[in-house]
């Protein structure tokens, strides 16, 4: 059956649909020897589809894994500096998974990985406003006006953030803990928001992603999401 090329590339687990569109626009995809244009449809059983000169792999069974990322792992499939990467932790998972979004090297917690380009695209799209909750340890306390700023939105160099939700604030000796929920996914967003209100972060752990939490997982462990959980993520 003929389908749009970006859909076939996503189903093969190579990239999200949006990324695949970029590849097509850049002339990296050919169908039966012709450079494909955006909008072209093809049948993977009859047409010869090449990406960067290599045949499109067969569509994989879609899989989504929830990993407890430990501190010190890079959120990537490969690291040019040779540091440990999250996909090394997936043991027996045979499919080629890529992370949905990113956690910093020094951030731990809930990370989803998938080979389902559509799911990745759906969850990363800013308009879908998926809520992510972080357990944050601050150096020092969280003054009321700093909390108010976080709850109103913080001016960062890439613009004003959406309001965050702040909960369960408690002081413990020289530092404090809180739960912060955001639905944007900017680079180092939580650390930058807290720093901008004068409260540097000393530890950061993502504890929830939409309706999912870490359950009983320990750092480095993972589990496959059920079909129901994946279907619920697609409905968000």
Query: Which residues of the shown chain bind ligand URA in the complex (CB under 6 A)?
Result: 103-104, 107, 188-191, 204
Q: Which is nearer to ligand URA, 28 or 183 (CB)?
A: 183
Clarify whether 104 is annotated catalytic: yes
Q: Which is nearer to ligand URA, 10 or 66 (CB)?
A: 66
C-beta of 20: minimal distance to ligand URA in Å?
Answer: 26
Strand-pairing partners, residue 110, are 68
For 10, what's the count of Cα atoms within 13 Å in the CB-facing half-sphere?
Answer: 19
DSSP string, 171-203: EETTEEEEEEEE----TTHHHHHHHHTT--EEE
> Which token pair is 133?
């909750």
C-beta of 207: minimal distance to ligand URA in Å?
Answer: 12
d(CA 58, CA 45): 9
Q: Which is nearer to ligand URA, 12 or 146 (CB)?
A: 146
Catalytic position from the list 47, 104, 118, 213: 104
Q: How many CB atoms lie within 10 A of CB 48?
A: 12
Classified as helix, coil or strand, 127 is helix
C-beta of 115: minimal distance to ligand URA in Å?
Answer: 22
C-beta of 16: minimal distance to ligand URA in Å?
Answer: 19
Buried/exposed 20-34: b ≥16 CB within 10 Å, e otherwise? bbebbeeebbbbeee
C-beta of 91: minimal distance to ligand URA in Å?
Answer: 23
Residues labelled as active-site residues: 104
């Amino acid at each position: 059956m003929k389908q749009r090329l970006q859909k076939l590339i996503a189903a093969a687990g190579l990239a999200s649909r949006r990324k695949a569109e970029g590849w097509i626009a850049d002339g990296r995809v050919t169908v039966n020897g012709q450079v494909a244009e955006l909008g072209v449809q093809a049948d993977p059983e009859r047409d010869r589809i090449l990406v960067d000169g290599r045949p499109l792999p067969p569509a994989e069974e879609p899989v989504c894994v929830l990993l407890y990322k430990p501190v010190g792992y890079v959120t990537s499939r490969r690291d040019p500096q040779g540091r440990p990467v999250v996909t090394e932790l997936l043991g027996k998972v045979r499919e080629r998974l890529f992370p949905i979004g990113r956690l910093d090297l020094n951030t731990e917690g809930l990370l989803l990985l998938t080979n389902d380009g559509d799911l990745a695209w759906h969850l990363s799209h800013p308009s879908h406003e998926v809520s992510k909750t972080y357990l944050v340890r601050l150096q020092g306390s969280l003054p009321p006006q700093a909390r108010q700023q976080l709850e109103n939105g913080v001016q960062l160099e890439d613009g004003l953030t959406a309001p965050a939700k702040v909960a369960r604030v408690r002081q413990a000796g020289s530092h404090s803990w809180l739960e912060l929920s955001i639905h944007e996914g900017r680079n180092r967003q939580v650390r930058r928001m807290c720093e901008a209100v004068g409260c540097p972060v000393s530890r950061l752990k993502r504890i929830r992603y939409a309706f999912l939490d870490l359950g009983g997982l320990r750092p480095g462990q993972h589990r496959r999401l059920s079909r129901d959980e994946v279907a619920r993520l697609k409905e968000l």
